[in-house]
Structure 1
Amino acid sequence: MTPPQSALPPLPVHDPELRTRHLLALPDGIGADELEVLAVSRFPAAAWETQPGVPQQRTAGARGNRNPGTSIGVLRVSRMSTLTGPYSATSADAVSLGLPATTTTVYDVRCPRDRGEPPYPGGDRDGLKRAFPDAIPVREEERVLLWLVAVARRLGGAIRTGERGVVLRPDLDATIDLTVFTDRWLEPDELLAAVQQVVPRARLAMEGVPWRGPATDAGRRAAAGLAELGLPERGGSGLRKALERHGVSDERKRRHLAAEADAFDGAVLAEPVVLEGYGALVDLGVDGMIAIEVGAEDTLPPLLRGLAWAAGGALAYRVRWEPTDVDELELERPSFAHRVARGRAMPHVHSVARALQAVVGGEIADAAEFLVNPGDL
């Protein structure tokens, strides 16, 4: 728990070095324990080196006992990166730093300055290309900044980025995708039944594309490779001589190899098809579609890796929204039409994830791999 704001030390806004570091700004009501959970969700070894809000001992002085207040917390997220705070911030403090006026607490972020090449053209959903137009953060700094953006998006906060002082205010709903991690497999018809309880329009998406025969130029582009091996384009004695030059000179050996290959192919074809993944779709018309993808997942969110049922990996039921214009997913400020469609699609994504989790159990995670309480959806 974070102590009342009146007990927090004030943000040192007049410290010139403060304005060269990254700052995480949060609105009222966000406790230090919430930040710790989100840190462990991305950096498993994260821990408080100094617990925030611990009262300092009273010290005697010429004017009597004095209480210097509560301790400043130091949250180490990696070997080289820490967050110091929380500091209390007034509206005037926030405005002076370009932060939202709703900011009440600020964390001072200390991490290495790792910069690479100028950013590539293209989408900039997190705003990092805008904040670092000359050299994009890489390695440790990139990992920390991406986490800060995810935290600000989850908690409704903002980030002030280092030397240039560019402020990022991630859209709370920029990524509405959810994933259910579990150890229980649903057959396609079982999944469809669960999803159709909340979205009747859902259908399985398992149809393959029928084969329409070889391409019109099949075999022609391989002619050069055959020539390099000394193989003719057509059969005849030239083919036998070419094979002999490459060490296959025994006719019985060639027949044996062919028979072995046929037997192997026959055995594979005789085995029943094992379904390792499949999908379902929900057509939302002008609002795009929802794709449900089912498959094994070896890389799990850090908070799940210690659970017994996830020790050997798990199954992932990914519920993704695909708008009609997928390029807008990567825009920091997408169009009004995109945001309207997203707002209409979000309840469907939430209801599908809840319905699946109610059947298969496990945990729900958002796009940043932060765990989500089904009751909050």
Structure 2
Amino acid sequence: MTGPSAAPAVLDGSHVLAVPRGTPLLPLARAWFPTADWSREPATAAQAAAARPMTGARFRGIAVAPPDPAGVLSLDGAVEVAGPYPLDAAGARSLALPPQESDLYGLPAAPVAGATLPPDLVTGWATAVARRTGGGILPAARDRAIVPDPAAAVDLTLWSAVPLRPDDALPLVRPALSGSRLAAPAPPAGGAPEGFTLVARYEYDGEVEVRCSRSREVPVVLSTLDWREHGPWGYHVTWRPPDPLELEVPHPSQLHVIARQRVTPSIARVVATLWRTVGGTVVDAGGFVVPHEEIDARARPR
């Protein structure tokens, strides 16, 4: 149990998504739901101050309810996310959320009439947002807090309009992934490359796979970008740890965490090198665009 709730009473009965204070939620919503938009934008600080009830002798005895400064973000025209509601670091800590100044958003805890989105898709999005931003989730029952580990999402995919041949990709990959070998080349059709798979295996860290393939289905978030910023060729860089089951547990072993810390910079360096060569857009395992500054930060050994 998290103890007495520091969350606003207006969020009672709702699932609550907590993100670091000031996190823009609309781009994260459109990464999964491209038509998402504010049906009521949150009030600015100046607007909230101007809307405060007037006080003084002239207004005594007049009960005026202050307007709700929170916005309403519609995901599909029916499912709505309400917020942000500010929460200080002490309040977040009391709820077993990451101890940081946070913005809270309420999500429906039951199916919504007229909704086109399954409830599990909405909660899956909220979980992905929490992992992406370093936030957390309070289920409507308030019986626990869910805090996904941001470091657990190490896989990256570069979406580009330019295909590479295996012989050209291998020397680009090897400086970051020593021992990389061509694993599964596809026979060319009409002289054009059809994709390939490179694999680097390590005794204690498992293996890292770089798979290039053309796809007819791309992440939803790419539909929100200019078509010139990406393409159908996916360069999927995936880590396969020694024990794959540890990817599914919330608290993996220390050996798994150490191996993950060793391979994460290598994955980022591979993606950065490929991006400099073929261009495109990088998307993480949660379906969100990863900016180049973050790729550079991930590439630094810890």
TM-score tier after normalising by the smaller chain length: 0.7 to 0.9
Per the TM alignment, residue 310 of structure 1 is displaced from its structure 2 partner at its CA by 7.4
Cross-structure match for 1:196: 174
Cross-structure match for 2:226: 307
1:19–1:163 contact (8 Å) kept in structure 2: no
Cross-structure match for 2:300: none
Measured in 2, the distance between the counterparts of 1:12 and 1:331 equals: 28
Cross-structure match for 1:80: 78
Measured in 1, the distance between the counterparts of 2:292 and 2:81 equals: 29
2:164–2:193 contact (8 Å) kept in structure 1: no
Asked if residue 168 in structure 1 is aligned to residue 140 in structure 2, the reply is no
Cross-structure match for 1:18: 11
Give the structure-2-normalised TM-score.
0.81
Asked if residue 31 in structure 1 is aligned to residue 29 in structure 2, the reply is no
Measured in 2, the distance between the counterparts of 1:80 and 1:358 equals: 41
SS of 1:280 mapped into structure 2: strand
The one of 252, 271, 282 equivalent to 1:364 is 282
Give the structure-1-normalised TM-score.
0.66
Q: For residues 146 and 375 of structure 1, do their structure 2 counterparts lie closer, same or farther at Cα, with a shift above 3 Å needed?
A: same
Per the TM alignment, residue 49 of structure 1 is displaced from its structure 2 partner at its CA by 1.4
Map 1:30-109; keep pairs closer than 5 Å.
30-33=21-24, 35-54=25-44, 55-56=47-48, 57-58=50-51, 60=54, 62-63=56-57, 71-91=69-89, 93-109=91-107
Measured in 2, the distance between the counterparts of 1:272 and 1:13 equals: 61
The one of 101, 105, 120 equivalent to 1:142 is 120
The one of 236, 254, 259 equivalent to 1:341 is 259
The one of 208, 222, 228 equivalent to 1:290 is 208
Q: Which has the larger radius of gyration?
A: 1
Measured in 1, the distance between the counterparts of 2:200 and 2:253 equals: 23
Q: For residues 64 and 186 of structure 1, do their structure 2 counterparts lie closer, same or farther at Cα, with a shift above 3 Å needed?
A: farther
Cross-structure match for 1:120: none
Per the TM alignment, residue 340 of structure 1 is displaced from its structure 2 partner at its CA by 0.7
Q: For residues 108 and 63 of structure 1, do their structure 2 counterparts lie closer, same or farther at Cα, with a shift above 3 Å needed?
A: farther
Amino acid at match of 1:82: E
Q: For residues 96 and 288 of structure 1, do their structure 2 counterparts lie closer, same or farther at Cα, with a shift above 3 Å needed?
A: closer
Q: For residues 84 and 282 of structure 1, do their structure 2 counterparts lie closer, same or farther at Cα, with a shift above 3 Å needed?
A: same
Measured in 1, the distance between the counterparts of 2:254 and 2:28 equals: 30
2:185–2:196 contact (8 Å) kept in structure 1: no
Q: Percent identity?
A: 30
The one of 273, 276, 279 equivalent to 2:194 is 276
Measured in 2, the distance between the counterparts of 1:75 and 1:63 equals: 38
Measured in 2, the distance between the counterparts of 1:147 and 1:279 equals: 30
Measured in 1, the distance between the counterparts of 2:7 and 2:173 equals: 52
Per the TM alignment, residue 92 of structure 1 is displaced from its structure 2 partner at its CA by 5.0
Query: Deviation above 6 Å: which 4+ runs of structure 1?
Result: 64-67
Measured in 1, the distance between the counterparts of 2:81 and 2:277 equals: 39
Q: For residues 88 and 64 of structure 1, do their structure 2 counterparts lie closer, same or farther at Cα, with a shift above 3 Å needed?
A: farther
Structure 2: gaps (5+ residues): 296-302
Structure 1: gaps (5+ residues): 1-10, 115-138, 209-270
RMSD: 2.9
Per the TM alignment, residue 69 of structure 1 is displaced from its structure 2 partner at its CA by 8.0
Measured in 2, the distance between the counterparts of 1:12 and 1:335 equals: 32
Amino acid at match of 1:189: D
Q: For residues 13 and 291 of structure 1, do their structure 2 counterparts lie closer, same or farther at Cα, with a shift above 3 Å needed?
A: closer
